[in-house]
Structure 1
């Protein structure tokens, strides 16, 4: 691998939703370059009169991306969903951040056929992409397990249908792997459209469920792991991005599942230990460009 140059952040989702300040302080103290949180988190802080931009700045971070989700398949909910996202984007403008990551809402995957909803999905993403681009920001679509766009076929359908002049791509390595696809293959195929990468590892194998059909969480992080502890080819993917001269945004991500019995009982490690573990792994890969704190 060429000398690593990508500046890597870490999303705040590893902590519970009500621990955002704790998350950004820890992420900043580890020397990551930026962080990501949800649109509704900005809304909650704004409504309570707390100063999240100051807290992010104090931790030496940039809010490099904002994650927003909306209903992609119901045309009747399109305008309300877009209006909500754009309200979050307006709050995000206070942070001078560059990227808005867009995902779909969770739905019942059994019996779902994306072909029946492609017109609605493309129309919603294209309209949202135009409005976000008009704000001078990057709009990046993010596939996610349990949403309308989970599998490789679904990713292909959406990325081939959207207007790439206003909708870029934000692949999540772990989510793609958990959905049963090869993230490296998709990184190569859509490299020219990628503007944000969620660098995430996954324990590997199909999702296991209990007798009630609920997902069994073997790690306390929805089956995801700190970097280097799962089955995703993190060195190969980062090496490829470096060799191609990738100059956009990347964030380590490790999903926190505050409702998981494993997370509440015996998680593989604490959130702070997890982000430190991922940092040490990246350093072993040659990433010596963490901020000095």
Structure 2
């Protein structure tokens, strides 16, 4: 087995603002403003970031503020709704809007996840109530993703699908089904180390997923899991929000985390991975001071990868 290194010119380390505030649950917030958030990202040594709800909506203002700090936008998130009625056209239009935004910001990746029937934002037991797509819904999803992927490819962009807790593409089996039935030139995979681990099945390993789909992975979210908190979430049938508040997620490098990132990074490097490595840990900033955890993760990634 080779032990390649990442190409520093083609692999970048970023972070999401979800350590500073939460974009799914706006009450998980201690009042940190946009300017402090992105300044601390830069201070911790990151090259880019995803977009949060406190960011300026004016592209020129956002470019100016991020540019001052040496940051770029890594991706916008776009929800798709191909598995629910009368949402196909709206989903395509929303995608085109996000695509235009990321192009203006100089990015290459657009992240999507199918949120039709999703329960991750609802106050229900997360795993027990996740949607199970019918054959027709799967076909609708495949068709929709192929159209979005073709739109992105024509613009020189990459569509990256984000498997996500509480959705119809959560488990390894569901990810495999999606990958098997989509065109690898149009639909790429976003590897989320935390979501696949939290899914909790016998084959739900971030390393296994990376090994199987290394050539299709074009975007990575680096999320760690506190096993003790995951066990509590499963035993008490917690919602996604309750799991976050319980402290299930943390960053790479946290000794409380259960994921070994070194073999995952090596698998991706061996496959000549090019793109973003994005630290993402939905934590309560009142309990986990964002800058401390941002620095912890950045140091851990640098130690393992040299990036």
**TM-score of the pair, normalised by structure 2:** 0.80
What does residue 82 of structure 1 align with?
92
After TM superposition, list the pairs within 5 Å mapping 1:83-232 onto structure 2. Answer: 83-105=93-115, 107-108=118-119, 110=129, 112-116=131-135, 117-180=137-200, 181-204=204-227, 205-206=230-231, 208=233, 213-215=238-240, 217=242, 220=245, 223-229=248-254, 230-232=257-259
Cα distance, 1:206 vs structure 2: 4.0
Is residue 215–residue 271 contact of structure 2 (8 Å, CA) maintained in 1? no
Q: Deviations over 1:198-255 (max 9, x none)?
A: 1211112446169795457566485111213311121111122223332232211112
In structure 2, what is the Cα distance between the partners aligned to 1:219 and 1:212?
Answer: 13
Q: 1:247 to 1:66 in 2, by over 3 A?
A: same
In structure 2, what is the Cα distance between the partners aligned to 1:186 and 1:228?
Answer: 20
1:13 aligns with 2:33: no
Cα distance, 1:41 vs structure 2: 6.5
In structure 2, what is the Cα distance between the partners aligned to 1:111 and 1:225?
Answer: 23
Cα distance, 1:9 vs structure 2: 1.4
1:233 aligns with 2:238: no
What does residue 46 of structure 2 align with?
32
Q: Deviations over 1:35-82 (max 9, x none)?
A: 1125x777x613xx8711111111101212222112131252111112
In structure 1, what is the Cα distance between the partners aligned to 2:13 and 2:278?
Answer: 5
The count of residues paired between Structure 1 and Structure 2 equals 276
In structure 1, what is the Cα distance between the partners aligned to 2:131 and 2:245?
Answer: 28
Is residue 207–residue 216 contact of structure 1 (8 Å, CA) maintained in 2? no
Is residue 170–residue 199 contact of structure 2 (8 Å, CA) maintained in 1? yes
Is residue 72–residue 121 contact of structure 1 (8 Å, CA) maintained in 2? yes
In structure 1, what is the Cα distance between the partners aligned to 2:113 and 2:246?
Answer: 19
What does residue 252 of structure 1 align with?
279
In structure 2, what is the Cα distance between the partners aligned to 1:206 and 1:192?
Answer: 32
Deviation >6 Å, runs of 4+: 209-212
